[in-house]
Structure 1
């Protein structure tokens, strides 16, 4: 289990590094480089629009790779999705700017971001299911949380590289070529991830199934459509919280509040590090007290904290911003640390790869794709403190709270091939 969980963690860290590096670049440099004819606000919105395309592609990736995972096994998904995401990320670093090739530049950026999202849409389902379906029932929350630590590691790695480059290079050097370096580094990381995953065993739950869904998506739509919509709505707040903190606030604080890029990256990274460290702790609690109670508590905490978080962000003071982000991400991790165990338990094995991944990634469209764009537009119409952004995030939290309230508890659901007697 330790080797399997470590390989899943490393793979998700690498794939989310690829995904997050784009978000950071969109907040800092992609607007002026690829949309120079736009105003600064419009350029930022356009860059966030290409960022959002990745989230739109993720459910499509869930369908494509979910079909492979439900028909041919979880393991092939991990290899192909990593190759696709890694190759498209390296290619982003090679796209010439608008000044060099004109409108072809943002078009290429859009296509590559779509391919990134397609690959990541398959990655999460494969990594989580391979771990969850190997894990014993009474420790499924803990072992399944390892892939959920991957996004935090990927984010810290991505922003650490940006932070180091920001410290070493001038603004002109960073805009000219420095921002491309993290994208090129994705090729090395992808090769390392493929090596780690080359010897993983197939899921025992998949191997014991005698019949596999012929068209998994059709079965999911016919028999599980309500569950897909509920899980998508429930997970929306997690995406909204995370990308409000890590993407929108970075652009807002540097452009509107005059906070330096280096300070903002350091503040956000520090909060994400704590969030990553808390992930297995919360997961252990879910093995003892259940998945649903923690998800409800996380949603409630998010709903209560959005107005204080925006107030603290608007001060521009690093310690106060860190406090605002930290509490928000604790609410986030209270939900998302247990999702890797919760979603596989909700879906029957023959369509689990498709159903769980589609529900998970549809939540990203509502919460992740729209939040940076909507928050940027709302903040532009606001005064010093963008209370409208707080109201928007609170509304998403209440929507998710209602969806989680309608989902069942699943702590003792049968997921693995052989369950211990205590399960």
Structure 2
């Protein structure tokens, strides 16, 4: 296999800061969008986009639109993966960013049910689906941008930049909502039915509309990029394939399965520590929750997310030094132990409820969970792409990442609520432990990828001895 020469040197003359910004901004928007939409789906959309006397039915209808993105994400990974492996990473990343960003912006402009009746929830669902399509192509493209520009021996450290988009997006979104609801004096429990409240009239639209600023920044940076040296080399060697999806299932079906289940526990942990923990923390005590006020719990989450952000670069450094398998095996084993601790740390009779809740204990628990999230998530953007050869890398890594989102993310909040209602918080932790054991099995079934040849188009040629 021919290796890059002077051509690569020209390609890698792109400023490192531009590569970092281009890979980071898309995933930041992705997670910003998730939290903004999740908040609106609970506190805004049931009142403005759905009608009826049954509040639970309206909430479920609103959450159904939230789930539309999970259906769309694997489709987006196939569509954008096709173009990413056929025409290049740069153009495809621009397309994914525009698809995601424009849909998010348009949600902020939507008329409500009270203005255009059933067209409102229909349009909301369509735009949410479009968000999912863009998201499906965003992560793998950003990961490839970082890894395919990276120096030898530093891929995981380079690839951690798009992973930082998760905590950055969380901080931006939840910080924005915290400030906005405080300024407008909006309390979801008290004001959800008051359609004349400023937050429900116009305030909720601001976070969606403001996302266009990040989109424009990301678009400017990505347009100025050159194609990655790895993909350029594949073009020169005539190694592109006509149908990347078919080729991926033909030559890389096993790495796609491995990547999916390696990623499952990471998704379960993330959605337990963000979506489910919020419902548990602010839930009514008589329903098995802790009864902590929303604003107070949001501050707890914002504190804990700092440990997520800190864990990501540690993960990248660790994975480069010790290898992906060892780093992920140790981290995922710690996730098993963390899951088994739920019953002894977070049960209502242990941690307390309402005004008597032990806030310090809750912060420590959530900070540990978020630190583990950073350690497992940080190196995934190197680990998954390294499982695939160049000509199907965008498609293969994208499918693994997004199918894992269905198995580990879409189901987790609902399963966790059900488990807690029937068997308590310990069962929720056991669910995390079980998912982590599954990931450990598939990590053990993969080879070490730290030293793979990123320029290889044949999967058999990509593995180099350490």
TM-score (norm 2): 0.84
Q: Unmatched 5+ residue regions in structure 1?
A: none
Q: 1:412 to 1:228 in 2, by over 3 A?
A: same
Q: 1:398 to 1:49 in 2, by over 3 A?
A: farther
Does the 8 A contact of 2:18 with 2:221 survive in 1? no
1:373-384 equivalences under 5 Å are: 373-379=414-420, 381-382=421-422
Question: Which whole-Å CA distance do the structure 2 matches of 1:253 and 1:176 have between them?
Answer: 28
Question: Which whole-Å CA distance do the structure 1 matches of 2:51 and 2:339 have between them?
Answer: 33
**1:62 and 2:89 correspond:** no
Q: Unmatched 5+ residue regions in structure 2?
A: 1-15, 192-196, 285-289, 457-464
**1:197 and 2:189 correspond:** no
Question: Which whole-Å CA distance do the structure 1 matches of 2:375 and 2:431 have between them?
Answer: 21
1:13-28 equivalences under 5 Å are: 13-28=28-43
Question: Which whole-Å CA distance do the structure 2 matches of 1:9 and 1:87 have between them?
Answer: 18
Superposition RMSD in Å: 2.4
1:355 is aligned to 396
**1:394 and 2:433 correspond:** yes
1:135 is aligned to 150
2:365 is aligned to 324
Deviation at 1:94, TM superposition (A): 2.6
Render the CA deviation track for 1:325-379: whole Å, top value 9, x for unaligned.
Answer: 2111222222211111111211011100100111111111111111122223444
1:413 is aligned to 452
Q: 1:402 to 1:26 in 2, by over 3 A?
A: farther
Deviation at 1:303, TM superposition (A): 1.8
2:287 is aligned to none
Q: 1:394 to 1:50 in 2, by over 3 A?
A: farther
For structure 1, which segment, 179-188 or 303-312, has the greater mean C-alpha deviation from structure 2 after superposition?
303-312
Deviation at 1:10, TM superposition (A): 2.3
Q: Which has the higher contact order (CA 8 A, sep 6+)?
A: 1
For structure 1, which segment, 305-314 or 145-154, has the greater mean C-alpha deviation from structure 2 after superposition?
305-314
2:248 is aligned to 220
1:75 is aligned to 90
Query: Greater helix share, 1 or 2?
Result: 1
For structure 1, which segment, 169-178 or 78-87, has the greater mean C-alpha deviation from structure 2 after superposition?
169-178
Q: 1:49 to 1:407 in 2, by over 3 A?
A: farther
Q: 1:324 to 1:100 in 2, by over 3 A?
A: farther
1:155 is aligned to 170
Q: 1:94 to 1:313 in 2, by over 3 A?
A: farther
Question: Which whole-Å CA distance do the structure 2 matches of 1:41 and 1:390 have between them?
Answer: 26
Deviation at 1:73, TM superposition (A): 0.5
1:217-366 equivalences under 5 Å are: 217-256=245-284, 257-309=290-342, 311-312=345-346, 314=348, 315=351, 316=353, 317=357, 318-366=359-407
TM-score (norm 1): 0.92
Deviation at 1:64, TM superposition (A): 0.5
For structure 1, which segment, 356-365 or 237-246, has the greater mean C-alpha deviation from structure 2 after superposition?
237-246
Does the 8 A contact of 2:390 with 2:455 survive in 1? no
Q: 1:302 to 1:142 in 2, by over 3 A?
A: same
For structure 1, which segment, 265-274 or 315-324, has the greater mean C-alpha deviation from structure 2 after superposition?
315-324
